[in-house]
Amino acid sequence: MHRQRIPEQYKDKDGRQKQIIKEFLTYHVRLEGQDWLGNILRGTLEFEGRCLEPKKQVRVTTDEDGRQHAEFRMQGSTHKYYIAFTKKAVDDILEKTNTDKNAVKYNGKFGITPGSSAFRNGEYTYEQFVNTEWEDFEVLARKEG
């Protein structure tokens, strides 16, 4: 599981573009088992909680009769995060995947927001991961041992 802060864009009531920083949760699942002959089977569910959202731009075109039409043009994509970080979200994922909380590797991703150096730390316990405020969470990541 990965806990991180991501800038999210939104429009205020006047239609102006604004940005707020929110905490999000992503995770991936590695599965391992055996088939009926004892051969090892492995599978991975990659990064739930994040998807690629297409960027679109409206263009006005004129047809041969001189009429104008608006059409959307795709212009790349951006990552969209959709699982807000909460203790309940973490517990729901553990329950849904039938995973022991002590068997999970908990990661913090830092440096996504402007003005901070990028690094990650994967040495958290479940309690530290779900019960720590972001500032203390980052202090733990920078601590030796």
Write down the pTM of the prediction.
Answer: 0.75
Within a domain: 78? no
pLDDT category of residue 2 using cuts at 50, 70 and 90: very high
Number of domains present in the structure of the chain:
1
Inside any domain, residue 39: yes
Residue 58 lies in a domain: no
Answer whether residue 105 is part of any domain. yes
CA pair distance 58, 71, nearest whole angstrom: 6
**3-class SS of residue 89:** helix
Structure tokens belonging to residue 134 = 């972001």
Q: Let me know if residue 69 belongs to a domain.
A: no
Contacts of 143 (CB under 8 A, 6+ apart): none
Domain range spanning residue 114?
Answer: 2-52+83-142
Which pLDDT tens digit goes with each residue over 95-117? 988 889 998 999 988 876 655 66
| Residue range 45-96, pLDDT digits in tens | 777 899 988 888 888 888 888 899 888 888 889 888 999 999 999 999 999 8
The CA–CA distances, whole Å, from 18 to 9, 12, 21, 81, 143 equal 6, 7, 10, 17, 34
DSSP, collapsed to helix, strand or coil, labels residue 125 as coil
The answer to whether residue 107 is domain-embedded is yes
In a domain, 74, yes or no: no
In a domain, 76, yes or no: no
* C-alpha 89, offset from chain centre: 13
In order of 57, 58, 65, 76, the CA distances from 70 in angstroms are 10, 6, 15, 19
